[in-house]
Amino acid sequence: MASVACIGECMVELRQAQGGQSAGQSSGQGGGLYSRGFGGDTLNTAVYLARLEVKVDYFTALGDDALSEEMVAAWAAEGVGTRRVVRLPGKLPGLYMIQLDAKGERQFFHWRDSAAARRLMDIPETEEILNSLMSYDIIYLSAITLSIYDPAGRERLFAAIKRARLLGTRFVFDTNFRARGWPDRDVAREVFDAAFATADIVLTSTEDLIALYPGESHDQLMARIPAPELVFRLAEPVSLLRFPGGTSEIRAEPMTKPVVDTTAAGDSFAAAYIAARLAGSDPVEAAQASHRLASLVICYPGAIIPGYAMPPKKRHRPATSRQATK
């Protein structure tokens, strides 16, 4: 069975609850009740891959605390492999809080500087973890993943990916760009260039790239990416594809339900694309499947939709080797 290694970070999420405040707290930004959950872009993708019947392992570091244990149990329950999760005694996962203002707009606050996941490229287990990448058909990570490691850690990761590619593993890079994770945009651009030069498939969007390369046209942005296979999502529900032998424009089907929450739209898009390519679909078919799943996900609150809401399974051409995505 084709397999995927997803590398990244999952954090504890505190989300402002709808409704009243706790005793002694005022309304608005001053306080309120919060619900606790977990969140992470590549983790969301891993969950959707598992639901699409792709064998997937999640690569990260967690602590030995109760919250970390809860995370691992939840991932395993979704079918995500946890054998590559390193547990670091005394460490904790990162945390972020989502606060709503008086107009309902979201604001994010992060506490992650000492999170366990940031140590993954600098621990005794790192070499074994990186060498294991050669056993997977696809390595998937995002720009958020790269932002949590220091330059030496990123260098070690890229070197391991290049070794794995020599044996037929494919590297899929998602440009999920969050400015707060980078010291400045010059550093981010340098890392993006390295990822673009290494990747076999790049999943990107105007939202991500315009933030790094303001004022450039779609053609100019796409020309920056030498990867043989490129999926470029526009502001409207349209994707531009470039792949060996052709280009294409894929437009999402019109929405029939109201949009409730756009969280994980890109994460589910990535999962559907990877799953379809591994199953033997061509890039056009894969992009169509991606738009279908993302359009479904945004009709439900939260990053992970209920299992019963997943689309019916579609039979693809059988393809289990590393050549399936070529």
The residues assigned a catalytic role are 267
What are 89's two structure tokens? 């005694």
Q: Could you say which DSSP state residue 225 is in? A: -
Residues 6+ apart with CB under 8 A from 182: 147, 188
CB 204 within 8 A of CB 230: yes
6 closest CA partner among 180, 127, 129: 129
319 burial via Cβ count (<10 Å: 0-12, 13-18, 19+) = middle
Alpha-carbon distance 65 to 114, whole Å? 14
Q: Report, in angstroms and rounded to the nearest whole number, the Rg of the chain calculated over CA atoms.
A: 19
What are 216's two structure tokens? 């450039």
205 closest CA partner among 120, 146, 283, 142: 142
Alpha-carbon distance 122 to 156, whole Å? 9
CB 300 within 8 A of CB 262: no
- Report the helix count and the strand count for the chain, using DSSP H and E: 10, 13
Triad 181, 82, 275: Cα angle to 5°: 75
CB 169 within 8 A of CB 230: no
CA separation (Å) from 82 to 14, 30, 42, 74, 302?
23, 38, 14, 10, 23
